[in-house]
Structure 1
Amino acid sequence: MVKTVIFARVSTSLQEYDRQVNELTTLANTNGWNVEATFTEKISGAKANTERTELMNMINFVEAKHINKVLVTELSRLGRDTLQVLEVIETLNSKGISLYIQNYNIETLTQDGKVNAMSQFLITILAEVARMERKTIRERIESGYNNYRAKGGRVGRKTGYKKAEEAMKTQYVEEIKLLRKGYSLRNISKLTGTSINTIRKCKSLI
């Protein structure tokens, strides 16, 4: 018997995840897979994995219960941040647990537990597209700020403001993690969209 868990996510409290759960339950029943548990959350997928309680509970559960597959309707249900999504996939892969993405009908592992190179390639591309979309949004916001400044407006922190070290460490978890792995400031900036100046400040904290 193939043991699976369902993972569903919506971004706001006004949305519901019932459709995702129902579709994945039907999928499991059709394939003869046993659904061991369902994990749902209402939280922004752009948040760090460590801030998402249900996601972390799911990862702990699938390891402890020797689950074979994690089912999601779309890759975006797993998260919207490239690094965060790939981190979850790598964690599952390392535990021999396949991620099944319904709308693309692909899995991250083959039947014999090996990484499915084609699906991994596609997932990386899809995650990168999502990251680029978020980057475009940030650029639009920055353009709006620049236009406001050009008209004499002032935005940003007050002069002399300095973010506390603990706040920096909380906000830039991924940047600090990549710094500890030896990534260059430029590469980290490309991966996360964080400015090199900010990453340099993060470096001074470690």
Structure 2
Amino acid sequence: MVKTVIFARVSTSLQEYDRQVSELTTLSKSNGWSIEAVFAEKISGAKSNKERTELLNMISYVERNHIDKVLVTELSRLGRDTLQVLEVIEMLNKKKISLYIQNYAIETLTQEGKVNAMSQFLITILAEVARMERKTIRERVESGYNNFRANGGKVGRKAGYMKSDETMKKEYAEELRLLKKGYSLRNVSKLTHTSVNTLRKLYDKFC
């Protein structure tokens, strides 16, 4: 039987990785694979590999226990830095351990344990595109702020301005209701169009 481990990641302590684990468990069962362990972490994927304890634990585990595949729902769960992601994949390849990426249904090794050149190429492209998108977004935001300031604008609230707790509770009643029901910040943001930063402040203050 093919031996697998599940690796899941979310970026903040307020997010949950249960959906990732559930989807990969279903995938394993449908393919007749055994799940030997589950590794999950709450940390930014932009962190270096050496800063990610669970990732290092997973790599150590698969090496010791002769695991065949590491399962992730999408490449960004493994990390968001192109070089860091490729470093992990290279380590797994050397140990003849395949990385299976669910949303693209591709993996890094063939059934014979050889490097899948096409998937390796796609993974490199996908990781680099994701990195470029994040860089572009940051640059656009920074450019917008700089242009606004250059034209006499001031970023942020007016000095001394602060909403009362009661005002915030009324204004963000729906957001608070969803947060208290256990919805993730990202899902609440999609439903209400309120920024994740604002939701995080609401959660810390009222939940």
* TM-score, scaled relative to structure 1: 0.70
Q: List structure 1 segments (4+ residues) > 2 angstroms apart after TM superposition.
A: 144-153
Q: Computing the radius of gyration over CA atoms, which structure comes out larger, 1 or 2?
A: 2
Is 1:68 the equivalent of 2:68?
Answer: yes
Q: Which residue of 1 aligns with 2:82?
A: 82
Instruction: Please provide the CA RMSD for this pair.
Output: 1.9
Which residue identity lines up with residue 113 of structure 1 in the other structure? G
Shift of 1:52: 0.8
Is 1:136 the equivalent of 2:121?
Answer: no
Shift of 1:142: 3.3
Q: Which residue of 2 aligns with 1:26?
A: 26
Q: Which ranges of structure 1 fall in alignment gaps of 5 or more residues?
A: 154-206
Shift of 1:148: 5.8
Is 1:150 the equivalent of 2:177?
Answer: no
Q: Which residue of 2 aligns with 1:175?
A: none
Q: Which residue of 1 aligns with 2:100?
A: 100
Q: Could you tell me the percent identity over the aligned residues?
A: 84
Matched positions, count: 155
SS in 2 for 1:125: helix
Q: Which residue of 1 aligns with 2:14?
A: 14
Shift of 1:29: 1.1
Query: Which deviates further from its counterpart, 131-140 or 35-44?
Result: 131-140
SS in 2 for 1:132: helix
Cα distance between partner residues in 1 of 2:146 and 2:109: 46
Q: Which residue of 1 aligns with 2:51?
A: 51
Shift of 1:145: 5.1
SS in 2 for 1:26: helix
Q: Which residue of 2 aligns with 1:171?
A: none
SS in 1 for 2:9: strand
Which residue identity lines up with residue 13 of structure 1 in the other structure? S
Q: Which ranges of structure 2 fall in alignment gaps of 5 or more residues?
A: 154-207
* TM-score, scaled relative to structure 2: 0.70
